[in-house]
Structure 1
């Protein structure tokens, strides 16, 4: 695998800092609602957006803006598909984007990472929507009949393209895993719940075996968030957590989860921690466990604890 190139830096905003950004910015500040729920949750992010959103928000559907030719749920779209989606949302590259989700740092980091790999110049994540509501900031509850009602006229958006070396493909990861000495040169971190990592709990997708990659580290994404507020933990606590779990700051890091969504929570948290050197960055295995469990040899699907 090639050493990854430089990556755009994003910032984490408190609700108060978000409001200050809107008040002080000379460029348009556009909130992007990236709410997504697991298929068995019975909830729909798009439908909830129609009833409630941050004023001026637009809905970015991670279930639609993806590689629809792939059998895996959330593979990154092509630059053409991404650019078309952004254009349809009325977004230009001069806009400042602030992503959020209704759960509070669940699916918004996936959109944040997507915007980073497609090199949008100015991006932030709101930390977070439930806290924004509790603090009494303005909410738009006008009922919309269609998401398009919240969007202005289409714009022209042209990204510079995807930073490919921040995305790990199955063939790349297999190359790492097959050779034990090689895989020990990487931090491989899994964001799924611990019981799915050990294989004790089933995957939410029927027929998919649970378990984990050899030499991977289990850090459920919930552990980088405050239990009550769902905010990202502060820098010192994140550093302590990652070091305690065995993350080596001198190694490049690969993060994964079930379908590539909550892996990005870890990617954001690792960035906030400041633990990793710039030349030892975080890469996301886009297909994540859903792809690995279907394509890999059984000997590379490990059950139990290390």
Structure 2
């Protein structure tokens, strides 16, 4: 894998740069309830030296009924300043699953106009397996100024996705498991219908990853999209259960140089809730 501080860096790259004064490392671990893991407790016990904990559920739009929707820019600014993350920093984000929720926070920084941000390839499991240092001390935080410029083109709401589904001018790509996509397995969130957005294609997020939680090379990523019959000459909207694993596909599209892709923030948590929106199964 080639290191790119704007998308994905290796554990070796991070180990080499860990003491850089302008590096900021974020632990963005987040788990579904059925995973039985406590991200905050795990962070308190052990994390990459200097890492700050990024709470996906708290640094979100709490006015929304939907889970962890992107926060308003003002809230993002205040949380990042308090965490000592700001302008001029190279940010590296990881999670405790290898590659699960880190890409969501990477996308969030991109949404806010920050581009010197990368996901740690293989995450904390790979870092630990290779014997790199860990600590249990919280970092010393100093306020840091941060400017943001929200990039509206990187996010979609339900109206835009419904229009895209109707017109067929975008590829809507769903990162959920094939069984959930086909409507054969119940959704983890109660009260949601089963199935998928009409006309959407299924690229399970794991198909762009290797067994060790690292991202496949560009040929492997392209093959995963090709296997699902995704036309990459079209703009792509990524979606999933609640906008977390959709960001893995967004990152994968960035890695292969795809130029026009966005993320449906409400994802199935929103689409599956409204009876007037059509659902396909099978």
TM-score, structure 1 normalization: 0.87
* 1:23-51, Cα deviation, whole Å (9 max, x unpaired): 6x5x5111100000002322111111111
Q: 2:130: which partner in 1?
A: 135
Give 5+ residue unaligned stretches, structure 2. none
Q: 2:243: which partner in 1?
A: 260
Q: 1:92: which partner in 2?
A: 86
Q: 2:184: which partner in 1?
A: 200
1:122: how far off? 1.2
User: Aligned-pair RMSD on alpha carbons?
Assistant: 1.5
* 1:158-202, Cα deviation, whole Å (9 max, x unpaired): 31x21011100011111222x3xx12x211100011101101000
1:244: how far off? 2.2
Aligned pair count reads 277
SS of the aligned residue for 2:160 comes to helix
Contact residue 87 and residue 144 of structure 2 kept, 8 A: no
Contact residue 93 and residue 121 of structure 1 kept, 8 A: no
1:241: how far off? 1.7
Write the distance in 2 (CA, Å) between the matches of 1:237 and 1:171. Answer: 32
Write the distance in 2 (CA, Å) between the matches of 1:17 and 1:155. Answer: 24
* 1:82-132, Cα deviation, whole Å (9 max, x unpaired): 001101101121111100001011000000000111112411111122111
Matched, 1:11 2:7: yes
Write the distance in 2 (CA, Å) between the matches of 1:242 and 1:121. Answer: 25
1:28–1:89 Cα change, 3 Å = same
Moved over 6 A (4+): none
Write the distance in 2 (CA, Å) between the matches of 1:167 and 1:200. Answer: 28
SS of the aligned residue for 1:172 comes to helix
1:68: how far off? 0.4
Write the distance in 2 (CA, Å) between the matches of 1:151 and 1:190. Answer: 39
Q: 1:103: which partner in 2?
A: 97
Write the distance in 2 (CA, Å) between the matches of 1:233 and 1:269. Answer: 9
Write the distance in 1 (CA, Å) between the matches of 2:144 and 2:80. Answer: 8
SS of the aligned residue for 1:297 comes to coil
Pairing 1:134-153 to 2, within 5 Å after superposition: 134-142=129-137, 149-153=138-142
SS of the aligned residue for 1:150 comes to coil
Pairing 1:1-306 to 2, within 5 Å after superposition: 10-22=6-18, 25=20, 27-128=21-122, 129-142=124-137, 149-159=138-148, 161-177=149-165, 179=166, 182-183=167-168, 185-227=169-211, 229-274=212-257, 276=258, 278=259, 281-297=260-276, 300-304=278-282
Deviates more, 1:81-90 or 1:126-135: 126-135
1:151: how far off? 4.2
TM-score, structure 2 normalization: 0.94
Give 5+ residue unaligned stretches, structure 1. 1-8, 143-148
